Structure formats: C-alpha cells, structure tokens
Amino acid sequence: MSNAGHPKGLYVCFGAEMFERLCYYGMRGLLTLYLTKALMMGDVKAFGIYGAYTALVYAAPVWGGRLADAVLGYRRAIMFGGVVMAIGEFLILGGNDFWLFLGMGAIVIGNGYFKANISTIVGRLYAEGDPRRDSGFTIFYMGINIGALLATVAISPIGEKYGFRIGFALAGVGMLIAVAQFWWGQRYLEGHGEPADPERYRKWAMPVYVISLAAIPGIYALINWGTQLTFLGLDLLFWILIGLMVFVCVTLLGEGFKAGRIVRDRILVLLTLMVFNVVFWACFEQAGSSLTLFADRNVDRDVFGLFTMTASATQSFNAAFIILFGSVFSVMWVKLSAMNRNPNIPMKFGLGIVQLGLGYLLLLVGSHLADDMFRVPLVILALMYLLHTTGELFLSPIGLSMVTKLAPKHMTGTVMGAWFLSWAFSNYLASVLAKFTGAGEGVDVATMDPAQSLANYVSVYGSMGWVTVGIGLFLVALSKPLAKMMHGVE
C-alpha cells in the first residue's frame, strides 16, 4: 500500500500515538508482576486493582472527548493529557502503593484526553469522502501496534529484569517523547483540533484543567477501594460502570424508538453486539493479568536455547501478529467483498469469538505436552495468541467501523462513548475471571505446587474456551436476522 499523498499531520499523530502506546503498554505489561512481586499482593487483590485501572482507562475517553468537543479543542486536550500521563508514570517511582495508585489516577485522567482525541484529529485531516481515509487509519493503527510491540519487547522486559522502577521511568520517557513530537509537529495539523468556540475556551479552559487534576485523588480512591467497598455483594466500581452503561443504553433506545423502525433496529443490533463485545474482551484481556502470571509460572520460556523470554515479553505476541497479519486481513475483506462472499458484521463477531475460545482450548493440548516441571511449551502460548489475534482482527476494527455506520449521525459521539464503555466493563469482568486462576492473599507463589498451579490454569482457561466457542457459535446462528435488522449496512 502506497503511503504517498497523505497529510503530514498523519505522521505527527502516528508518532505521538506510537510513543503513547509504548508508555501505556510498557506500564501495563509490568503492572501485575509489580503488584505481586514487588508490593507482595496476592493474585486476587492484584487482579482487582489491574481490572479497576484498565476499566477506568477505557471509561475516561467518554468525558475526555466531550470536554475537548465543548471547550479545549483536540490539540490542547492531547497536549494536556500527554503531560498528565507522563507525570503519572513518574509518580509511580515513589515505590509504594500510595504513589502507584496516585500515578495510575493521573494516567487514567491523561489517557482520557489523549486517547479520545488523537483519532479524531486523524479523521479531520481528510475531507468527507476522501478515499485516502481508510488507508490513513490503517497507517495510524499500525503505529498503535508498533508502540505496543516495542513496549512488550523492550520496556516491560527491561523493567522485569533490571528493576520495575526503571521500566516505569522508561515508560514515562516514552510519554514525554510523544508530547514533544506532537508539540513539534502541530504546525502540520492544518489548523485542525482548535477549540470550536475560542471565547468559551478562554472562559472555561482553566477550570477544566483544574477540575481534571483535582479528579486524580478520586480515581486513586476508586482504584484503591472501588473493588473493596461493596453493595448487595457487588463492588462500587461495578455499580458505577453499570450506572454509566444503563444511562447510555436508555439514551440510545429512547432515540431509536423516537426516530423510527430503521434507527431502532440498528440501535438494537448495536446494543446486542456490544454485549458480545464485552464477552470477547473480558476473555481476551487476560493477557496483561492472568496470562502473564501463567507465563511466569507454568510456561517454558526458553527460545531455542538462545535466551529465556521474560513473562511480560510474552504479551508482545499479540502486537507482532497484528503487524504481520493486519494488512493481510484488510486485503482479504476487500477481495471477499468483490466476490460477494464477505461475511456480515455479526458473523465476523461470532467467528472472532470462536477463534478466541479455540485459543484457550489449545492450552488444554499444551498441558499434555508440559515438561517435568509442569511448564507448557512456549510455542503453545504463541499459537494461542495467534488465534486470539486473528479473532481480534475479525472483531475490533470491524466494530469501530460498525459504530460509525449504525449510529445516528447526530449521536456518533454518544455511541462511540458507549462502545468505549463496553471495553471498560470488559476489563472489569476480565479481572473477575482472572481471580479464578489466582493465588489468594498470603500465598507465597514461590512455594506453590507447580502441578496444582498448571491444573488450575488449565481448568479455568478450558472452561473459558468451551463457553466462548459456544457463545460465538450462538452469535453465528443469530447473524442473519441481526444483519437484516441493520437495513443495508455492511
């Protein structure tokens, strides 16, 4: 694919997003290991903190995007968010749970402004109907995955091997590079991303900045206590996410029933696929939590006798496979369309979920190939990640495109917010699922029986595999009636 003719601003956003993802995935790759090995938390508590953090990261763009729309403009929101994220990484260097949670709070707030708005600028660089737009987003998407790959083959392994603080510091440096690169290249954005109302910006920008920074202790509290304070047997964070989801869904359904049958049906399809999206990502997002500990404890990470891969580096398989196969899938969909054999969107979702389940079932095979130290061959873990990645390519880019096609034009931002919230809820549920694999408080993982550890992981992952394959096949069966309700959207 030729990259000629794209706006220079695309490459500015590409570089900024690449280094931001290097920062985010570098920190995320170390987080569970840091909680369990440095702060000596049990698996269950560590998974709860990890889930709260990643859920809030995906919920934050809902308000970050709205405040950029209304007050800040996208360019200033990205700069502000990037600086706050970098500060958050360096706060973590304090070395205890107080500084960790405070730093995570800053990263959540900063990510809300950065992640929500840089994609919007990419879209604004192209006029409506510009045929280069899809190609531009493909280039941008590759930047995301290059950053994720570099984080998981460099930042996380360095932190794991030479000290967690070094890893977190490198992630912070990566974020500073992202901010500096975006600041230097902002002149190439062609004026896009400025405040819609300059007078409103002058009046409200400072209050927005101050309130955003003041919210960091609130995020700290949610991460620290949000999974410990319970109501009716369920924790505070669950009720917050449920409340947000109910509000958004009621808003969308109200709009659908008011606007007529076609809009109503499309919104019902959106909400249905949102549920299946939650299922996929709740199982997929074991990568940074339980699968990392599985790799640490029950995978033979020797690479052809040349070196031993760190546990955090195994997360690089997903990003590497995305880079290898992303363009292949893009071409495949085009060719299938030309042959009139391209599966409809619900069918793709179902097949993606099936592949995710097959990946987990592959670990059942791997357990029979374990060595005398009860370690599964690394190739089995790699093949599992390959199936998870192909499942992701059936679902993730398709889902983002689907939102823009099915959403009422005047509600695209609200619907995209709902889609982000489904990811947030997925990450919360991912932590709940991960807890079934983990050692509890006070358990010394160094003295755990490796045979029992492997049996526990395989039991949980096997159950997840069979259930997700079944859910995927159920969606495949529903795909035709759901496609009809989309009224021509493909």
CA angle 417, 418, 423 (to 5 degrees): 95
Which DSSP letter does residue 273 get?
H
CA angle 73, 114, 15 (to 5 degrees): 105
Which residues, in sequence order, are bridge partners of residue 302?
A: 308
Q: Which domains does the chain have, with CATH numbers?
A: 8-228 (1.20.1250.20), 264-490 (1.20.1250.20)
The residue type of 284 is: F
Q: What is the mean pLDDT of residues 417-434?
A: 87
The H or E element that residue 363 is part of is: helix 345-367
Q: What is the mean pLDDT of residues 470-481?
A: 96
In terms of pLDDT, which residue wins out, 168 or 436? 168
Q: Is the pLDDT reported for residue 442 higher than 70?
A: no
Residue 92 near residue 103 (C-beta atoms within 8 A): yes
Question: Would you state the pLDDT for residue 452?
Answer: 87
45 is written with which tokens?
């508590």
Report the percent of the chain where pLDDT is more than 90.
54
Report the percent of the chain where pLDDT is more than 70.
93
Q: Is the pLDDT reported for residue 206 higher than 50?
A: yes
Q: How far is CA 204 from CA 67, 70, 199, 267, in A?
A: 10, 10, 9, 34
pLDDT, one tens digit per residue, over 236-295 is 888 888 888 888 788 888 887 888 888 888 889 889 998 999 999 999 999 988 999 999
Beta strands in 197-297 (DSSP E): 230-231, 234-235
Question: Please, how many CA atoms are within 13 Å of residue 244, restricted to the half-sphere of its CB?
Answer: 23
Q: What is the largest CA-CA distance in the chain?
A: 70
Q: How far apart are CA 392 and CA 143, in angstroms?
A: 17
Q: Is the pLDDT reported for residue 73 higher than 70?
A: yes
pLDDT, one tens digit per residue, over 359-405 is 999 999 999 999 988 999 999 999 999 999 999 989 887 776 677 67
pLDDT, one tens digit per residue, over 316-354 is 999 999 999 988 887 888 788 888 888 898 999 999 999
Which residues, in sequence order, are bridge partners of residue 185?
A: none
Give the pLDDT band of residue 57 (cuts 50, 70, 90): very high
Q: How far apart are CA 106 and CA 217, in angstroms?
A: 9
477 is written with which tokens?
């069966």
Question: Would you state the pLDDT for residue 237?
Answer: 86
Q: Is the pLDDT reported for residue 107 higher than 90?
A: yes
SS3 125: coil
Q: How far apart are CA 382 and CA 315, in angstroms?
A: 9
Which residues, in sequence order, are bridge partners of residue 230?
A: 235
